[in-house]
Amino acid sequence: MYAKLGRNLSMQCILQQGLLSWTLQTKQATTNLVSTTNQSLTIKFDGINQVLTWFLSAVYASCDTVSRRELWQELSIIKEVCSGPWISCGDFNVTRYPNERSEGHRITGDMQEFTEWINAMEFVDPPLLGGSFTWRRGDGHSSASRIDRFLYSSQWDESFTRIKQNLLPRIGSDHNPIMLDCGELNLNKSYFKFEQWWLRVDGFADKIKEWWLSFNINGTGSYILAVKLKMLKQKLKEWRMTHRNDWKRKKEEILQQLAEMEKTQELRLLSEDELLQKVHLAMEFEEVAKQEEIAWRQRSRIQWLKKGDKNTKFFHRVATAHKRFNSIDTLVVEGNSISDPEDIKGEIINFYQKLYTETEQWRPEFKLQGLETITEEERDWLQTHFEEAEVLKCIKSCASDKAPGPDGFPMCFFQSFWEDVIVSKYGQTDSWTSNTVTSTYGVSVWRSIRNLWPKLTRNICYKVGEGTRILFWKDKWIGQNSLMEDFADLYSFCDNPGASIAEMWSQQGWNITLRRLLNDWEVDRVANLLQRLEDFPGLNTNPDAIRWKHDRDGEFSVGRMYKRDLATQPGEIAGPWKQIWKSNTPTKIKCFTWLVCRRACLTQERLKKRGFQIVSRCFFCHEKEETNNHLFLHCRVTAQIWYLFQSIIQDPWVVPEHTADLLNCWMRRGGSKTQKKWWNLVPSCIWWSIWKERNNRCFKNITNPMQKVKENCINTLYFWCKEEGIDDVNQLVDFLGYL
């Protein structure tokens, strides 16, 4: 067996009865014996090219299955010592697949055991080039198999530019020599690439914000962005040197701590603090494993598996295959083969320089008369600047872990730090966001509040002071609408659509610049615009302010906005919110009832909307999907409780579609005034009893009969009445007779 490791080391292995030889072309390499047994010999090589330290385990396995198992165990123990690139090679006396034997038809137990051992050792088994078998039973026999092979670790795979296993001619032996050609050591300087797993490192996002805000650059927006990215890249390179493969070190530390705690647990019971620490370590290990998975996933560029799949080994092998496929071992130039990496680089550069260097000055002439042309409106649209919303939408639509651009930043960087880039571009003091809220997980505005934003913006206007925080075209600062809305045609070809009033105003007047000359019909539009602006008194030293249009003082209040835009409109049915908060139930029950009416309880329906992949089934009837309305109203099992209470007033009813509708109609019923004292508590009591029973069945696997659920409901209602001072509860006591 031969191994060619770059230019400084070639090796010939002849392992039979313990013989191993090698040849070094460098005096800087040293060797040390690690282990020797009757089936293997392990050597440590130090200082190859003053860079690589690696291990070699040469194998001559027994034909006996039991003895081979001892070899597998020996090499598994050696793996704990070999913390670096590792090769295991030799005669393993067993094959992996039926096609590796000339007479093989099925997978045997020995094959399966050998394959499982290779997978457990995380070895790479490269394909054999130049033939299928490495051993033959003499020239006159057809029996042949592949029992010799090279196996190597993933660290070895990362250390070389390309690896090939070749079959050599057989001379005077029943075994064919095989050679592992590893090309050159992978010492090339790789270009910068932003790693997606960095985003999960504690404090990394804060570092990015700190660095980004510390860069003070003047110039156009595109120039500032390019220079800042270049400066940030340098900072990230320095940070990367202290966090390179940080997850590998952390995994080892966490596993060591967990192992020590397991030993302690064998001797005594762990304290509460120690148990809590063990849980935290397990969670931390899960996070570190996730970082490793993301790192290899990004390098593999696999897009068709969902994030969260535990396929780190798969991603690693795909990334390795990408690297091997993209490597150029030999280049043929004018009939001459070139294998030196520097010469290959030079030839590639020369080829493309010649390809894109112009030699002739001749240009063809095209007569375009008679061709259809676009309209001026379409031309103006093509010339408009990209809006921020368009750019953001484009960025968010791109896959986050695709290959990065020439600057090394993939889309996940811009998606994660978009707000920081925009805020820093306009400046903290020049933005309406005067106070930013920061926390570990970020703070977002509730969806219900965000939905009110269009109504809010319709009712605000701007009072101009310094003019630095009000946009000339886009904000409502003069008239009922913005200039962008009333003069959309002029806005489409204005030179600076995002300019503030201060940038457009000077002591000499307005400085409105357009990207092209005006057509005749557009002159009047400009005149109308200037007429709209002629009453502007000019800027002053006061800060710009936002005002509420519908009050003289301009002050905004939630109450005024609610009365104007959010109160119930004529003909609209009001929600039962007042009845909920004024009811005589405990505060916890009021909040729960509000959630039920808002369909916000954490039923399986809500969990699915949050992205959980579950099969939804009602815990009572096991027939329908568990939704808010089904669980609390329409389930044929839980409906028994509703029918029970309806039997008191003997009033037939139709179950409403939604829980809020039920509460509205329930409050209008209930018979006498005496009954109404406790009647209005019934829906909350039923829902609370159903929810408790549902959670018992879901989380504790305890199922009570419905008769027991009814009794619990009546007891709860009776207790609420006594706590709230409702004295006339005799009817409730009598009602137990119905049960």
Q: What is the pLDDT of residues 172-222, one digit of tens each?
A: 788 888 988 887 666 555 567 777 767 777 788 888 888 888 888 776 667
Q: How far apart are CA 720 and CA 714, in angstroms?
A: 10
Task: Find the range with the poorest average confidence among 229-233, 238-242, 374-378, 615-619.
Answer: 238-242
Q: What is the DSSP letter of 544?
A: P
**In the prediction, which pLDDT does 648 show?**
67
Q: Domain check: are 488 and 407 in the same one?
A: no
Q: Domain check: are 98 and 211 in the same one?
A: no
Q: Which helix (H) or strand (E) holds 121?
A: helix 109-121
Residues 6+ apart with CB under 8 A from 340: none
Q: Is 259 helix (H, G, I), strand (E, B) or coil?
A: helix
> Residue 527 belongs to what domain range?
460-548
Evaluate whether 597 touches 575 at the Cβ level (below 8 Å).
Answer: yes
More confident residue, 603 or 353: 603
Q: How far apart are CA 25 and CA 241, in angstroms?
A: 32
**In the prediction, which pLDDT does 188 show?**
53
Asked, for residue 713, whether it belongs to a domain, the answer is yes
Q: How far apart are CA 542 and CA 668, in angstroms?
A: 56
* Cβ-based burial of 70 (10 A; exposed 0-12, middle 13-18, buried ≥19): middle
**In the prediction, which pLDDT does 46 show?**
80
Q: Domain check: are 409 and 468 in the same one?
A: no
Asked, for residue 337, whether it belongs to a domain, the answer is yes
178 bridge partner residues: 167
Q: What is the DSSP letter of 633?
A: I
pLDDT surpassing 70 at residue 404: no
More confident residue, 254 or 639: 639
Evaluate whether 3 touches 13 at the Cβ level (below 8 Å).
Answer: yes
465 phi and psi angles, rounded to 5 deg: -120, -95
Q: Is 264 helix (H, G, I), strand (E, B) or coil?
A: helix
**In the prediction, which pLDDT does 145 show?**
92
Asked, for residue 379, whether it belongs to a domain, the answer is no
With DSSP H G I counted as helix, E B as strand and the rest as coil, what are the percentages for the chain, rounded to 5?
45, 10, 40
Residues 6+ apart with CB under 8 A from 532: 478, 479, 483, 486
Q: How far apart are CA 643 and CA 650, in angstroms?
A: 10
Q: Which helix (H) or strand (E) holds 55?
A: strand 52-60
- pTM beyond 0.75: the answer is no
Amino acid letter, residue 294: I
Q: How far apart are CA 507 and CA 83, in angstroms?
A: 74
Q: How far apart are CA 596 and CA 628, in angstroms?
A: 7
**In the prediction, which pLDDT does 475 show?**
87
Evaluate whether 48 touches 54 at the Cβ level (below 8 Å).
Answer: yes
Q: Tell me how many domains the chain contains.
A: 4
368 bridge partner residues: none
Check the CA dihedral 337-343-349-355 and report its sign. negative
Evaluate whether 288 touches 251 at the Cβ level (below 8 Å).
Answer: yes
Which pairs from 706-710 meet CB under 8 Å and 24+ separation?
706/637, 706/640, 706/641, 707/739, 709/641, 710/640, 710/641, 710/644, 710/739
Q: How far apart are CA 198 and CA 417, in angstroms?
A: 13
Q: Is 28 helix (H, G, I), strand (E, B) or coil?
A: coil
Amino acid letter, residue 194: F
Q: How far apart are CA 489 and CA 524, in angstroms?
A: 12
88 bridge partner residues: 57, 151
Top mean-pLDDT range of 169-183, 550-564, 624-638: 624-638
Q: Percentage of the chain surpassing pLDDT 90?
A: 13
pLDDT surpassing 80 at residue 429: no
Here the tokens at position 734 are: 């009598």
Q: pLDDT category, 45, cuts 50, 70, 90?
A: confident
Q: Which helix (H) or strand (E) holds 48?
A: strand 40-48
**In the prediction, which pLDDT does 421 show?**
60
Q: Domain check: are 430 and 286 in the same one?
A: yes
**In the prediction, which pLDDT does 72 show?**
92
Q: Which residue has the tokens 């992978």?
A: 186
Asked, for residue 472, whether it belongs to a domain, the answer is yes
Please choose, from the candidates 619, 635, 628, the residue with its C-alpha nearest in 3D space to the C-alpha of residue 693: 619
Asked, for residue 363, whether it belongs to a domain, the answer is no
More confident residue, 316 or 412: 412
Check the CA dihedral 454-460-461-465 and report its sign. negative
**In the prediction, which pLDDT does 377 show?**
79
**In the prediction, which pLDDT does 636 show?**
92
* Domain boundary pick from 156, 181, 206: 181
Amino acid letter, residue 31: T
Q: Which residue has the tokens 């006996």?
A: 64
* Domain boundary pick from 511, 532, 548: 548
Q: How far apart are CA 198 and CA 194, in angstroms?
A: 8
Q: pLDDT category, 313, cuts 50, 70, 90?
A: low
Please choose, from the candidates 83, 82, 107, 87, the residue with its C-alpha nearest in 3D space to the C-alpha of residue 96: 107
**In the prediction, which pLDDT does 435 show?**
41
Task: Find the range with the poorest average confidence among 96-105, 315-324, 485-494.
Answer: 315-324
Q: Domain check: are 50 and 124 in the same one?
A: yes
Top mean-pLDDT range of 152-166, 417-431, 611-625: 611-625
Q: Please count the residues of the chain.
A: 739
Task: Find the range with the poorest average confidence among 195-204, 350-359, 571-580.
Answer: 571-580
Asked, for residue 167, whether it belongs to a domain, the answer is yes
Q: Domain check: are 592 and 726 in the same one?
A: yes
* Domain boundary pick from 407, 439, 471: 439
Please choose, from the candidates 486, 472, 499, 480, the residue with its C-alpha nearest in 3D space to the C-alpha of residue 526: 486
Q: pLDDT category, 47, cuts 50, 70, 90?
A: low
Q: How many CA atoms lie within 13 A of 308 on its CB side?
A: 4
Tens-digit pLDDT profile for residues 141-168: 678 999 999 999 887 887 776 788 888 8
Q: Domain check: are 582 and 528 in the same one?
A: no
Q: Domain check: are 587 and 616 in the same one?
A: yes
pLDDT surpassing 50 at residue 441: no
Q: Domain check: are 148 and 285 in the same one?
A: no
Residues 6+ apart with CB under 8 A from 201: 243, 246, 291
pLDDT surpassing 80 at residue 51: no
**In the prediction, which pLDDT does 204 show?**
82
Here the tokens at position 648 are: 């008191």
Tens-digit pLDDT profile for residues 275-308: 888 878 877 777 777 666 665 555 554 443 444 4
Q: Give the helix ranges, DSSP H, for 11-133.
A: 65-81, 109-121
**In the prediction, which pLDDT does 618 show?**
93
What average pLDDT does the chain have?
77
Q: Could you tell me how far CA 134 lies from the centroid of its own chain?
A: 46
Q: Domain check: are 196 and 173 in the same one?
A: no
**In the prediction, which pLDDT does 238 show?**
81
Please choose, from the candidates 153, 205, 147, the residue with its C-alpha nearest in 3D space to the C-alpha of residue 175: 147
More confident residue, 432 or 22: 22
Q: How far apart are CA 523 and CA 530, in angstroms?
A: 11
Task: Find the range with the poorest average confidence among 226-235, 408-417, 522-531, 533-542.
Answer: 408-417
Asked, for residue 445, whether it belongs to a domain, the answer is no
* Helix 272-300, helix 246-267: angle, nearest 10: 150
CA distances from 510 to 35, 513, 520, 695 (A): 86, 9, 21, 68
Please choose, from the candidates 545, 734, 555, the residue with its C-alpha nearest in 3D space to the C-alpha of residue 647: 734
Q: Domain check: are 642 and 504 in the same one?
A: no
Q: Domain check: are 477 and 604 in the same one?
A: no
Asked, for residue 374, whether it belongs to a domain, the answer is no
Q: pLDDT category, 564, cuts 50, 70, 90?
A: low
**In the prediction, which pLDDT does 397 show?**
78
93 phi and psi angles, rounded to 5 deg: 55, 30
Q: How far apart are CA 60 and CA 67, in angstroms?
A: 11
Q: How far apart are CA 559 and CA 557, in angstroms?
A: 5
